[in-house]
Amino acid sequence: MTDRLSSIEAIQARIAACRRCPQMIGPPVHGAPVTGRVLLVGQAPGPREADFGRPFAWTAGRTLFRWLENATGADEERVRASVYFAAVARCFPGKARGGGDRRPDPGEIETCGEFLRAEVEVLRPDLVIPVGTLAITEVTGHRGRLVDVIGQTVPVTLFGHETEAIPLPHPSGASTWFKTEPGAALTARALNLLARHPAMRDALA
C-alpha cells in the first residue's frame, strides 16, 4: 500500500508541475492520493476547480456527488477519500467560441494521457467510471449515442489493463440528457450498477 501511495504521490507531483500544453489554463487539478481500486475519469476541470484545488468542486460536482450519495449512501468527502479522481485532461481548457468549455484537442489528450496511463499502471482498477462523452470515448472507445452505453457495465482494456467500466453522463447543469427520458432512467440504472459493483462496495466499506 505504501508503495502504491508513494507512486501515486509521485505522479500527482508531476501533474502539479506540468505546464506542457500552451493553450491550457493551469494550474493542473488532481484529486486525493487514493490507492483503491475504483478510478473515476472526468473530462477536464472547469474554470473554478483550480481555486478549490480539486476536481468536480463546482456545480457539476454537486450533481455528481448527489447522484453518488443517493446511490451508495456515501457523502462527498467519503467518495473523495475512496475513489481516485482522474481526468482526460488536468487543466481547464478555456471557453469554446460557441459557449461552454473547450474540448481538449487530440494532442492535449495524448499528452495528458501519460498521467492516466501511469495511474492505471499503479492502481490496476477493478472498476472505471468515465464521466461524460469525452471520458467515455477515451475509456471504452464508444463514440456513438449515450443511450447505447449508459446503464451498462462494459468490459474494457485500458492501457493494457483489463477491467470494467460503468459510464455516467456528464452532470453539467447545461445538459438536459440526464433530466429527460430515456436519459434519466439510464442514469439511475448506471448508478444502481455502480452501487452494487463489488469494487465500489469494497472502496466504500
By beta-carbon proximity to ligand SF4, the closer residue of 114 and 202 is 114
For the chain, what's the residue count?
Answer: 205
88 binds ligand SF4 (CB under 6 A): no
Scanning 12-20, 47-55, 75-83, 189-197 for contacts with ligand SF4 by CB under 6 A, the matching segment is: 12-20
6, 13, 19, 192: which one contacts ligand SF4 (CB under 6 A)?
Answer: 19
Scanning 15-23, 78-86, 120-128, 185-193 for contacts with ligand SF4 by CB under 6 A, the matching segment is: 15-23
Scanning 31-39, 108-116, 118-126, 190-198 for contacts with ligand SF4 by CB under 6 A, the matching segment is: 108-116
Least Å from the CB of residue 100 to ligand SF4: 18
8, 11, 18, 186: which one contacts ligand SF4 (CB under 6 A)?
Answer: 18
- Per CB under 6 A, residues contacting ligand SF4 are 15, 18-21, 24, 28, 89-91, 108, 111-112
